[in-house]
Amino acid sequence: MIVQSIIDTDLYKFTTSYAYFKAFPQAEGTFIFHDREETRYDEEFVERLHNAFTELESLRLRDEEFEYMVRSCRFIPQNYFEWLKQFHFEADKIKIWLDDEQHLHIEVTDFMYKVTLYEIAVLSTVSALRNEHNVIDLNEVVLRLKPKIELSNREGILFSDFGTRRRFSFEVHKATLEYIKANAMYCNGTSNCYLAMLLNMKPIGTYPHELPMFIAAVNGGPRQANYLAMEEWVKVYDGYLGIALTDSFGSEVFFKNFSKKHASLFDGVRQDSGDPIRFIDQTIARYQELGIDPMTKTIIFSDALDFPKAAEIKKACEGRIRCSFGIGTNITNDTGYKPCNIVMKLYTCRMNQKQQLRKCVKLSDVPGKAIGDAREVDLYRRLLE
């Protein structure tokens, strides 16, 4: 099996699923796959994908996993995990095809509280199948990790593993985390719930781009979507999971929505695109404008990081604001082979079956990373101007 368990995924998938479960139980959505490098695939790969997705159907939440999630995720009530015991992936919901240029298309449609759970399973499966014939030595992979952890230990770089979605394979992911658990002094945990359970590490996560994207689509656009998303998050989690994601429609838009209330309630913010140094200045300026000491707050950096880059960013934060780092592919897919650059994002959604489908947009702090229908992207930009 490529995916080992229902909980062989990132914690934020469950936190976001429960938020939909509680706040928007009738909402529906479609996630679509996007290969940023426009890789060409063939029919044989598509067939292997079909087989792998069929294997996903056999996964169920096991008793020991249920007990672990209830014990470790006190912010999610037990009845959600009781529902999760009944959940299983449905391969016929995962539509796969190649276009005329052999680009891979994948889409999944369901209620939002269910469809969000497909994202990481699809991405980690595509990544693993692309690497299936690439021969590696796990000892060499760990050797690549050694100087990174030495740098973290030397410089005091607080970090978490965010590498599930684009990992080389489960085996590589597990081997790297075993080394980190044994040798890293400043590792906060891992986003992967299954490996957190196996290795007795802390599961890490809050909310993703899809939540403000969903809110913007069903509530009239992006101007107030960040504020409304934070409101819903606070209603559901009452102060837990307090890191706000900033770049769904650009960080300047986010900080206009970042009220005294939310800046006080949330422990910090996450930077996932753009210039991290500029972002530090933006964040500190907004906290100071609101009368909040930036040294009581944290920035989580998670934009295509490696450890040397994290060390530079940490120096820029010192004495100004606390920081931590979510490092993904550089931990779980540094094997000598080029990692894939794939994402799966919310494309359309609606609050219920009576509502018209709305197209979703993510703008980011890098114009080239915008995702969504071109006309909708242009409309969002004009609205925000």
What digits encode the pLDDT tens for the residues 373-382?
A: 999 999 999 9
Structural domain that includes position 31: 11-134+339-362+370-384
Same domain (yes/no): 102, 200: no
Mean pLDDT of 130-144: 96
* Beta carbons within 8 Å of 183's beta carbon, 6+ residues apart: 146, 149, 153
Does some domain include residue 2? no
Same domain (yes/no): 130, 145: no
What pLDDT, in 10s, does the model give residues 318-331?
999 999 999 999 99
Q: How much is the pLDDT for 367?
A: 77
Nearest CA among 236, 234, 281 for reference residue 255: 281
Does some domain include residue 5? no
Does some domain include residue 301? yes
Same domain (yes/no): 50, 97: yes
Same domain (yes/no): 218, 71: no
What pLDDT, in 10s, does the model give residues 277-316?
999 999 999 999 999 999 999 999 999 999 999 999 999 9
CATH number of the domain that residue 110 is part of: 3.20.140.10
Same domain (yes/no): 244, 291: yes
User: Is there a contact between 118 and 31 (Cβ–Cβ < 8 Å)?
Assistant: yes
Q: Is 153 exposed, middle or buried (0-12, 13-18, 19+ CB in 10 A)?
A: middle
What pLDDT, in 10s, does the model give residues 139-167?
999 999 999 999 999 999 999 999 999 99
Q: How much is the pLDDT for 346?
A: 98
Tell me the CA distances in angstroms from 1 to 5, 8, 129, 190, one per residue in order. Answer: 9, 11, 11, 21
User: Is there a contact between 241 and 267 (Cβ–Cβ < 8 Å)?
Assistant: no
Same domain (yes/no): 348, 218: no
Same domain (yes/no): 242, 326: yes
pTM, to two decimals: 0.97
- DSSP symbol at 371: B
**Distance between start and end Cα atoms, the chain:** 48
Predicted confidence band of residue 369 (pLDDT cuts 50, 70, 90) = confident
Q: How much is the pLDDT for 385?
A: 84
What pLDDT, in 10s, does the model give residues 327-354?
999 999 999 999 999 999 999 999 999 9
Same domain (yes/no): 117, 240: no
Does some domain include residue 94? yes
* Beta carbons within 8 Å of 267's beta carbon, 6+ residues apart: 242, 243, 297, 298
Does some domain include residue 298? yes
Reduced DSSP (H G I as helix, E B as strand, rest coil) percent helix, strand, coil of the chain, to 5: 50, 15, 35
Measured between alpha carbons, how far is 75 from 121 in angstroms, rounded to an integer?
Answer: 23
User: Is there a contact between 200 and 8 (Cβ–Cβ < 8 Å)?
Assistant: no
Structure tokens at 84: 């999760």
Does some domain include residue 83? yes
**Residue 93: CA atoms inside 13 Å, Cβ hemisphere, count?**
19
